[in-house]
A and B are shown apart, each in its own frame.
Chain A
C-alpha cells in the first residue's frame, strides 16, 4: 500500500511539475493511439458498413475473420509488422522500424477489427426495414449509409472507445516495432514496462495513473459526444 501511495504522490508531482519527459511520453501516446484510432475508424467503419450492407459469397467467413481479429494479440501484430518493415522485409525500404509511424501502423491493425466488428454488428442490429425506409424517402446510396451510421452512433462510438482502449493500453506491438527509444518512440505503456523492469515502481505507478487518467479523459469526451445530441 505504501508503494502505491508513493506512486500516487510521485504521479501528482510529475504532473504538477510538468515533467518534460513524462509530458512528451504522454503526448506521443495520445498522438500515436489517437491517429491509430482515427485510421481504424475510417477503415473499420467504412469496411464494416460495406460488409453489413452487402451480400456476397463468403460474407459469414469474412465476418468471422473480423470477429476473430477483435482479439488479435498485440505481440502477433508486432511480430508481423516487424517482419514487414524489417530492413530486408517487403517494406524495409520505407525505413519505418523503430519509428512512431510503425507504432501507428501496428496499432491501426489492432484497432481496425475492433471498430469493424462492432460496426458490422451495430448496423446489422438496426431494424431490417430501416434501410428500405431510408431509400423510400429518396436517399442516395451514400446518404443511406450515412443515415445508418448516424442511427448506430451509440454502439459505434462504443466501438471507437473499445478501439482506443485497446491500442492505448497495448505494449507488445509498440515495444516490438517502436523499440521504446527515449524521446522518440517511448510511449506510456513501454515506459511503464521499462520502469517496472528497473524496479522503479513509484515511477511505473505514476505512469500507470497517467495512462488511466488519459483513458478516462478520452472516453469521457467520447461519452459526452455520444450522449450529447440525444433530444429530450
Chain B
C-alpha cells in the first residue's frame, strides 16, 4: 500500500470523555475507495471513534492525518469537516422538507442554486425518495427518514462517509432494503466509508475490511475472511458470529495433531501442543457436517460425534442446527439439506468436521 492510497490515518490516538479514557488506537488507516466496518459491543468506543475521526471530539493525544495533513479537531476544522459526512443512528432531520434537508450541507457550502437542485435531485433518486421531496421530514417513516439522512450525507460528495449504525432503528425488511441501496451507492460512487455496526452480516456484506473494537481499542483488523476464519481471540470469534468455542485439556500430541478433551469427548485438532495444557478453539458452524450415517470410515473427517438435535432455527437462506454431542455444537446447513435429512428436534445424527477446520486461539 503506497502512502498516497491512504486517505485517513490515525497515530497513537487517545480520547478522554467524562474523565475516563474511551479510546486508545495506536494506528488505523482508511484507503481510497475502501469500506471499513467497526464492530464491537455497546460502549466499546465505536461512536466516539467516528466522532474523533470527524473532528468532533478533542484528542487527549495522538493525531489524525487526512491525506497526510494533520487534522485540528473542533470548530477550526470546518474545511476538513466539509470533506466528510456523517450519518448518525437517529436520522436527526431538520424541521423542513425532505428536499431542504438533503440540500442542507450544500447550502452550508454556498453552492449555486442550480447546482444544489441538481445534486439534491440526483441524491433523492439514488435513495429512491424523490416522491417525498416536498414532504415534511417530520411526517415520513423511520426508513424514509434514514434514507433522507443518507441522501443528505452523500449530497455533498464527501471523500469519506462515516456511518454510525445507520440501520439500528429499522425493522429487518427496511434494514435489508436500505443496506442494499447503500451497498450499491458505495460501489457506484467509490466513496470511502467507515461504518459501525452490531451486525456481522452487514459488516460482511458492505466492508472490505473489518476492525473489531474492545474497550476503546482495535483488537483485530483484517478482511472479512481473515476475521471469520482466523479470529484473534474468543471475543473476536464471538463477535464474528462464531458459536462453537471450546476449551479443553490436551492429553495427546503427535505428528502435528493433538487431542483434547471437550465435554468428555475427544476432539482432534491440527497443530502442536504440549500435554496437559489448556487449549481454546473454535469451529465455524459452516464447517460442521451433519449426516444420518457416520462418515468415520470413508472420509477424512477426524472428528465425528454422535449427537441429538436439540433445536432447529431457520435463518432465511440457511438453518442453524443446535446439537448435543456431550458438548453443545452448532451447525449451519442449507434448507435443502434440512429437508433431505428430515431433521427434527430429537433426531439422532452424526456431526463431523476436519481437524484442519479447528481454529486454535491460545494454549497454555
Contact = CB atoms under 8 A, between A and B. Distances in A.
B203 to A, nearest CB: 22
Interface string A137-158: 1111101000100110100000
B79 to A, nearest CB: 9
B-side interface size class: 20 to 34
Most B-side CB within 10 Å, residue of A132, A147, A153, A229 = A132
Interface in B57-85: 75, 78, 81-82, 84-85
Contacts of B92: 127, 129-130, 133
Contacts of A133: 86, 88, 92
A150 B137 CA distance: 15
A138 B109 contact: yes
A137 B90 contact: no
A136 interface: yes
Given A136-B56, A137-B156, A232 B82 contact: no
Interface in B93-110: 94-97, 104-105, 108-109
B54 interface: yes
Nearest to B76: A141
A139 B105 CA distance: 7
A153 B97 CA distance: 15
A127 B95 CA distance: 12
Contact of A231 (B86, B96, B105): B96
Contact of A132 (B51, B84, B135): B51
B95 A129 contact: no
Given A129-B92, A133-B92, A138-B156, A232 B81 contact: no
A230 B94 contact: no
Interface in B242-301: none
Interface string B124-140: 00000000001111010
A138 B84 CA distance: 8
A135 interface: yes
Interface string A203-232: 000000000000000000000000001111
B359 interface: no
Contacts of A137: 85-86, 104-105, 108, 152-153, 156
B162 interface: yes
Given A137-B104, A138-B109, A143-B108, A230 B95 contact: yes
Nearest to A138: B82
A230 B136 contact: yes
Contacts of B96: 229, 231
9 contacts: A129-B92, A133-B92, A136-B84, A138-B82, A147-B94, A151-B95, A230-B136, A231-B134, A231-B137
Interface of B: 51, 54, 56, 75, 78, 81-82, 84-86, 88, 90, 92, 94-97, 104-105, 108-109, 134-137, 139, 152-153, 156, 162
Closest 9 CB pairs of A and B: A136-B86, A138-B82, A231-B136, A137-B105, A133-B92, A231-B97, A141-B75, A139-B108, A138-B108
